[in-house]
Amino acid sequence: MDSDRESERLFSLRLSQVMEDIGVNRRMIEWRRNTFLRIETFSTICSILKYIPLTDYVFGSQTEATTTFWMESDHDTLHSDESVHVILHLNKWQKGKPNLLVLRDELTPPQHCYLQRLRGDVPLPAVKTEGPDDVLIGDGRVLVANTWVEWHKAYSSGWFKITQHGPSITVNEEADNVYAYQCAELPEECQFMFHRPRPGHWPSTGIMERAREAGVFFVPQSYRESPPPKSCEHEAFI
């Protein structure tokens, strides 16, 4: 038993030395994290100056500093559309803003939903589409499809080729972009994290309290076995 522990200790020391030699050390990790936090801020400021209501969040291996230069990892960025107000209950509707109501029923897969567009002057369902990703279904409701590609095709006017990989949109091999709506409320599916056991008391109480106030992001990810909403035969939901 002691020999196994000694072997593990020696292996850990050697691995740490290798990581140090290729630049994966505490100093470099902190430097990369600070760098990409600044990139987030700079990118968001640029969007504001262009009157584009997006807040950018860099995530994945770059901001986590779990990659090296030679791995040529891509950049993953989440763009949160701050102009849209997503709500779980109709009483949270806000006047003068685009409002999207989260819809679920007994057939909706876990952690999935539909987003229904509401009017901006009164808390009633919209009856007209407002963009290339809106779909008017059979019962008169307007739902937002998970086809952000259509919006980007209209925006880019064919200047560059757009490829969709799941919820991300890619215009080159170096960057994946996920466009999302933020909701200040936590859906019921997210409440379990505050009641489940926390081995080693991690995450800490402080982090859990911050998580309660962070809200969630709704990303345009489809589920191949998800049934289309009732009264809908549009290909975006099939």
Identity of the residue numbered 173? E
So what's the pLDDT on residue 236?
A: 42
For the chain, what are the domain ranges? 2-73, 86-147+182-237
Residue bearing the bigger pLDDT, 68 or 31: 31
Using a 10 angstrom Cβ sphere, with 0-12 exposed, 13-18 middle and 19 or more buried, the burial of residue 141 is buried
Q: Is the pLDDT of residue 88 over 70?
A: yes
> Of 52-66, 73-87, 116-130, where does the model show the most confidence?
116-130
What integer pLDDT is reported at residue 92 of this predicted model? 93
Task: Determine the pLDDT at residue 24.
Answer: 74
> Could you read off the pLDDT of 18-39 as tens digits, one per residue?
877 777 778 888 888 888 888 8
Higher pLDDT, 211 or 162: 211
Q: What percent of the chain has pLDDT over 70?
A: 79
Which tens digits make up the pLDDT trace of 184-238? 888 888 888 888 887 777 888 888 888 888 889 998 875 555 555 554 544 444 3
pLDDT for residue 234: 44
Locate 234 and state its tokens. Answer: 């549009």
Is the C-alpha dihedral spanning 77, 39, 29, 69 positive or negative?
positive
* Max Cα–Cα distance, the chain, nearest Å: 73
What does the alpha-carbon distance between residue 111 and residue 229 come to, in Å, rounded to a whole number?
15
The confidence score (pLDDT) of residue 97 equals 87
Q: Which residues contact 189 (CB under 8 A, 6 or more apart)?
A: 110, 111
Band of residue 85 on the pLDDT scale cut at 50, 70, 90: very high
Question: Mean pLDDT, to the nearest integer, of 103-119?
Answer: 86
How far is residue 79's CA from residue 181's CA, in Å, rounded to a whole number? Answer: 8
The overall average pLDDT reported for the chain is 79
Most confident range (mean pLDDT) of 103-112, 167-176, 208-217 is 208-217
